[in-house]
Amino acid sequence: MDLSALGNVAYVFPDHFDVDLIIGVQNVRENDLEKLVPLCMKGFDDDFLKNAKAGDIFIGGRNFGYGHAHPQSMGTIRKVGINVVLAESFAPGFYRGELINGMYLLKVPGITEKAKKSDLLKVDFHEGIVTNITQGTTIQGVKPSPIVIELVQNKGNIGLIKRRIEELNERAVE
């Protein structure tokens, strides 16, 4: 299965970014993503929702997603259509939680210095390679492990479990 993405950088976050700030910490108890979408990135870019489009990419610095990482913030981002985050490094809890949701997360050392807002990027998730089409450069990220690839291919943990159950059922029929 092809695991590549082509999109523009929607935003470049600093080191140690708490993703709860995407919707505002005061809103993390709201579970209705439809109510949260209008709040998305208001603290950073008032025009974000006007300019963001499905397929855009987030760039993060070191320790992206530190803190509690409530699922509402990233659920809101997925609702907007952003499903790829490239970062210098990820907070472990955020990384596990978002992989379970099928988010394309790729560790790319140096990415914050090699890509800027609006750059067009092509991401080869299998190989961990990011091509900055705008700048004409290629960045080698950390190649994901087979289980990470499998989670992303199946759109998260639920999809992976369903696929494995189907495989077991197919074997049982044979």
User: What separation, in Å, do the N-terminal and C-terminal C-alpha atoms of the chain show?
Assistant: 25
Give which of 128, 89, 95 is closest to 109, Cα–Cα: 89
Q: Which fold has domain 4-173?
A: Aconitase; domain 4 (3.20.19)
Average pLDDT, the chain: 93
User: What predicted TM-score, i.e. pTM, was given to this entire model?
Assistant: 0.91
pLDDT tens-digit profile of 12-54? 999 999 999 999 999 999 999 999 999 999 999 989 999 999 9
pLDDT tens-digit profile of 135-164? 999 999 999 999 999 999 999 999 999 999
Q: Residue 68: pLDDT band by 50, 70, 90 thresholds?
A: confident
**So where are the chain's domains?**
4-173
Q: Residue 2: pLDDT band by 50, 70, 90 thresholds?
A: confident
Q: What's the whole-number mean pLDDT along residues 1-21?
A: 93
Task: Output the 3-class SS for 83-127.
Answer: CEEEECCECHHHHHHHHHCCCEEEECCCHHHHCCCCCEEEEECCC
